[in-house]
Amino acid sequence: MTKHKKLPALASRAVALFFGLLLLSESTAASLGSHQVKIAQQPASTPSVPLNAEQQKLYQQGVKLFQEAQELQKKGTKEGYQQAINKYQQALKIVEEIGLKADQALINQSIGFIYFTLSDNFNALNYLSKSLGIWQELKQPIRQGELLSMIGDVYASTGNPKKAIEYLNQAKSIFLSNKKFENLATTFYSTAGAYIRLGDMKKAIDSLNEGLKIYRDILKDLSQEANTLNHIASMYSLIGETKQALKAYNEALEIQRKNNDLSAQAITLSQIAPIYAKLGERQKVISYIKEISKLQQEIKIGFTDQGIIYRNIANSYFLLGDYQDALSFYTQSKDAFEQAGNSILKSQVIGLIVSIYKNFLGDNQKALEYIGQAIKFQEENGFKGDEASSLNQQADIYALQGDYQKALDSYNKALEIERIITDTNSQARTLANIARLYSLLGDYNSSINAYNQSLDIYKKLQHIPNQAGILLNIGNLEFVYGNFEQALIAYDQALSLHRKQQDYISEVLALWGIAKTYRDKNDYIKAFEAVKHALALSQKHNYSFLEIASNGMIGSIYLTKSDYKNALDTYKKTLVSFRKIGSLNKEAETLNSISIVYEFQTEHQQAINTLNEEIKLRRTLKDDTGEAQALYLIAINQRKLGNLNAALPNIEAAIKIIENIRSNVKNSDLRTSYFATVQSYYKFKIDLLMELHKQDPSKGYNAQALETSDRSRARGLVELLTEARANIRKGANPELLAEERRIQALIDGKEKVRFEIVNSDKIKNPIFKANAEKLQTEIDQLLSQQKQLETEIRQTSSKYANLKYPQPLNLPQIQQQLDKDTLLLQYSLGSERSFLWVVSPNSLDTYELPKKAEIDKSAINLFCLISRNSSKPPSLTHQDNPCKNIKNQRIDVAAKELSQLILSPAKDKLATKRLVIVADGALQYIPFAALADVNSQPNSTPQEEKEKPKDVVCSTAGGIRVCSPVQPQSLNYQPLLVNHEIVSLPSASAIAIQRQELATRPPAPKALAILADPVYNATDTRVTNAQNKQLQKQDYLNLELEQSALKRSADILNRQGWTRLSGTRTEAETIFNLVPKSQGVQLLDFAANYTQATSSNLNQFRILHFATHGFVNDANPELSGLVLSLVNEQGKDIRGYLRLADLFNLDYPADLIVFSACETGLGKEIQGEGLVGLTRGLMYAGAERLVVSLWQVDDKGTSEFMQEFYQQMWQQNKSPNQALRAAQLKMWQQEKWRNPNYWAAFTFLGEWR
């Protein structure tokens, strides 16, 4: 394990978010309050125009309804608001019937304000806009100004401050021209709030100063002047201008003392105290709190003001690091707001209490308890925006505890609310949180996609601070995945923006990111430079928490550079500091780091003792993920001490936690990606068990190791197969299924356009290139929606609720899957050593093999030679194509070398048995049929053989490396297929579940369906008039079949459009002639299309044969697929890509599916799952057996091979697997086709019986 993956992250988002929350809650209160007063004071006792007696009577009913609505509105509850809306709407109907325009405007305004209070911004804008239209019609400018100002506030609340400022500026213009200075001052307040949301603090302060001038010079309103000075001071405090902040607060205090306004003085003093707390001046803070207490005793302060005072005192204690005192005052603040009936401020304070428990005291259960109360209250009272914020906090806690599914559910619920209330700013926040969760689950693509969505929103809103925050998170994501250069770019961009905004806390976080990246690049000078800058900044601004964490980061640099003494000293000081402030989670992280120092110093017992301390804290925090990691590290240290039997229960306990976390994740893709992040736990347990087996072979540890290996692989596929047989989609919500189809069609259309751009000369055009990038972003977003929809489909299916996934097999159950002629060869490749288990129905033999790096290197070398570099192999490094580094050498030498590594130790067991291969690592890309038979060949190649001509010669031209075969007779080895049938499986459990689920399935009534020779473009000669068609058909038969490996190319990087595969027609017609016409269907030309491929008609056939182009998308396996006809008879574009996502919606109950297309057996390699590609979808669709290819195969060679394969199967009456081997043997025996490139690409997966 690399060091950087062991080191805990020290950044805390709560610090960065803390002041923003306070500022927003204060800056908008005044403007919103003023609007509420205006509504409550609207006259409703006399009509705006003369009425007759009947109208007057009706009008009085409306007045009564209006007044009742006002009283209900004052209750401040969700029920009260809903009842008020009903009353207002009844009154509105009356005044509309009478034709009273002004009254209509007033009532629409009242309804709009309630919807705004309930965070229903859509309806708020609807009703307020109606009111504005009426006032404009009645030429009432002051009323227009009021409505423009209110609409501006709504837009600010929806996260669209730019739009808000447009409306507020219109309102200001009206108020100024009509000399309505009080309204004008209030609108400046609202404008300041909008600028805060934009992150433009300077303009926010300028707006408040404009309001200050009005209160001071025109209105002579000392109370509001002081209040405005307080707001200005809080802004200066936020941006670190302490002197300016204190100057404004003291000016306000002087005015309040002249007015003898004791309550206002207490509030101002409570706002000054946090500034001195930030400066670390504890005594001054205490003196201010004492002065406040004295004022509280002299007068009776209102509950709302009391709540503000207590909250500000709590902020002071928080900044001093006195979290228990902070909690005490936050609790008093909450109670005061509750007594005042101010539910909004109460809700916000609960959020601060949760933040303390979660981020600083580490009491996640207490945090969940409080946030649960808040969510219940907010939901009951219709505070949608606050509810969404609370759901985000709840999700954060679930994520900390390792309950990722609950976290995702809460985030998605929050996102749904924010979309309903059209709060785009909050949507961006939630998307960023979802991105972080995807990162924890190991899903890089979904994570970066969600971050980019969030960043796009903030760019549209021109919100600089939040753009910087997202860039910081993107840097963290790139760092975790080892993309250090991209991480540094993101961190540097974030740092630059934070500095412009004078956001010192976030600047420290960005510097941490830069420091840890340079640390892991082993550039310790730059790492120390960045973290010491962060430390100095923390000390300068008295950020005690950040100062402690910066020291922790310094410790991590010492650790990485192996300076263990300084690392230990620094960590121990950090531990004392975190204990002093009561931060349990940071204490646990620091203990983890200390244990790593002890481990590297070989003080393993000290490491174990330290980790046991950490585990106690993790259990208190209910941090399952942290506990599992600590148990894993204990097992590692116990093993290093030689206590193997003590290590075993600890790694088992860790895996039990991992299994529980995994099982709670509902989305199958996220389960798979998460499982990939914890494969090291299973590899360690396997290695430990095999070491125990070496010590005592009688205890069956090797069987346990095999079972652990099976448990660690292809679990996602096994679960998908279980779901497929349960047919969970049948019981799912039909609307969700329809939406899934809609999204898939959108993905297909966009991907088709993008694909054509990037694989043609259009990509050189900047406009087309930009469009392709935009399409990719849209596709990524749609794929994320699709994943979420798949989860919802599962959850809404009645069959899914009762579904039970099978447990992985034990040794006896694995042996039950085998017959006397079959051996299972299961591989597990490890960093230090690898293992092979050879299993028969009545025996188990185990062998130690070389480490993964050595085997992978040999496997990739063979893959590159045998595939002639026509396909992309797995990479051992970050390079795009490791084939470019291979040396010219013979295939037989490479095959013998790999066989020597992975087969030779077990050669005495192989005989002529059928070999069922469960591969690992790069071995998944290797056709075992082409390996050297270790029982028929010497273990090394004689010198004279080495001097013979090479069977592959590689050259580079135009930047492209090409390998070509030479005379086949130079091959001097016997491939494994000569004496063995070869079957590939993703895992032993996969064949077991497949057999169980397919045991009772009746065979399909008909024999064969073939789709071949599709029409890819409008320039194809088949898109001509009917008179030429017969001639064209004759021409096809006379075409010379080219031997080009690019004919069935799946290399999406070098393709210039899809080339017609003429050989597939001959292939299809020859194969079709082997079955009675009544038993088959042949779909050629335009008929080889998407509609036919997805038709239920295909479930009538036992064998499905697709002969066309195939392609693999490693980044998004869902986009991999087959290319069917892309145009119709008229040359018009039609849907023609059959993608992996389509296969999951199809029913192919076939005995055998053959993909006579390139790379259809490949896919994205995911640790713990294997190759995720088309084979996965085909097995889900119902295929019992598969024949697929591992690389691009010559068109003529494929045609020849497939014809032989079907003749062996039908004319010689062989099983599909036996027929495949026979066809390969026949080609091997012919000089023309002897090179394994022609025949070894095709592999058999699934049931061999």
Lowest mean pLDDT among 192-206, 1098-1112, 1203-1217: 192-206
The pLDDT-based confidence of 435 (bands split at 50, 70, 90) is very high
State the DSSP code for 765. S
Q: How far apart are CA 245 and CA 239, in angstroms?
A: 10
- The residues pairing with 1009 across neighbouring beta strands, listed in sequence order, are 1081, 1104
What does the pLDDT average to over 1078-1082?
93
3-state secondary structure 281-342: CHHHHHHHHHHHHHHHHHCCCCHHHHHHHHHHHHHHHHHHCCHHHHHHHHHHHHHHHHHHCC
Query: pLDDT tens digits, residue range 94-109?
Result: 999 998 999 999 999 9
Give the total residue count for the chain: 1249
**Structural domains of the chain, with CATH:** 463-541 (1.25.40.10), 566-699 (1.25.40.10), 811-984 (no CATH), 1004-1204 (no CATH)
Bridge partners of 1082, per DSSP, are 1010
Contact 516, 486 (CB under 8 A): no
Q: Among 474-483, 760-769, 979-988, 1184-1193, where is mean pLDDT lowest?
A: 760-769
Counting residues of the chain whose pLDDT is more than 70, the rounded percentage is 84
Give the pLDDT confidence of 332-347 residue by residue, as tens digits.
Answer: 999 998 888 777 788 8
Residues 109-130: what's their mean pLDDT?
Answer: 89
In tens, the pLDDT along 266-281 reads 999 999 999 988 777 8
Task: Tell me the pLDDT band of 899, cut-offs 50, 70 and 90.
Answer: very high
Name residue 1152's beta-bridge partners.
Answer: 1103
What is the rounded average pLDDT of the residues 1238-1244?
89
Residue pair 269/312 in contact (Cβ under 8 Å)? The answer is: no
Own/partner pairs, 242-251, CB within 8 angstroms, 24+ separation:
242/275, 242/278, 242/279, 245/275, 246/272, 246/275, 249/275, 251/226
Phi/psi for 1173 (5° steps) reads -155, -150
Q: Which of 413-427, 708-722, 1153-1167 has the lowest mean pLDDT?
A: 1153-1167
> Any idea what the Cα angle at residue 1233 is, between residues 1229 and 1239, rounded to 5°?
90
Query: Looking at the predicted structure, is the pLDDT value of residue 1224 above 70?
Result: yes
Phi, psi of 241 (to 5 degrees): -90, 75
Identify residue 584 by its one-letter amino acid code.
Answer: L
CA dihedral of 205, 208, 213, 215, whole degrees rounded to 10:
-150
- Residue scoring higher pLDDT (1194 or 960): 1194
Place of tokens 């070509």: 964
CA angle centred on 834, ends 833 and 837, rounded to 5° = 145
Write down the pTM of the prediction: 0.69
Q: What is the mean pLDDT of the chain?
A: 82
Task: End-to-end CA distance of the chain: give it in Å, rounded.
Answer: 42
List for the chain the helix, strand, coil content (%; round to 5): 70, 10, 25
Radius of gyration of the chain (CA): 36
115, containing H or E segment: helix 101-117
| pLDDT of res. 668 | 65
For the cut 50, the answer to whether the pLDDT of residue 47 exceeds it is yes
Amino acid code (one letter) for 824: L
More confident residue, 628 or 1116: 628
770-787: per-residue pLDDT in tens? 888 888 878 877 877 777
Is the pLDDT at 888 greater than 60? The verdict is no
Average pLDDT over residues 162-175: 94
The pLDDT, as a whole number, for residue 110 is 93
In this structure, the strands spanning 1185-1189 and 960-965 are unpaired
Task: Tell me the pLDDT tens digit for each residue of 489-499.
Answer: 999 999 998 88
> Which pair of tokens denotes residue 539?
């000390």
Between residues 159 and 966, which one has the greater pLDDT?
159
The separation between CA 432 and the C-alpha centre of its own chain, rounded to angstroms, equals 10
Four-CA torsion 186, 187, 192, 194, nearest 10 degrees: 130
d(CA 985, CA 951): 30
User: Of the segments 762-776, 920-934, 1158-1172, which one has the largest average pLDDT value?
Assistant: 920-934
pLDDT at 804: 62
* pLDDT value at 1051 more than 50: no
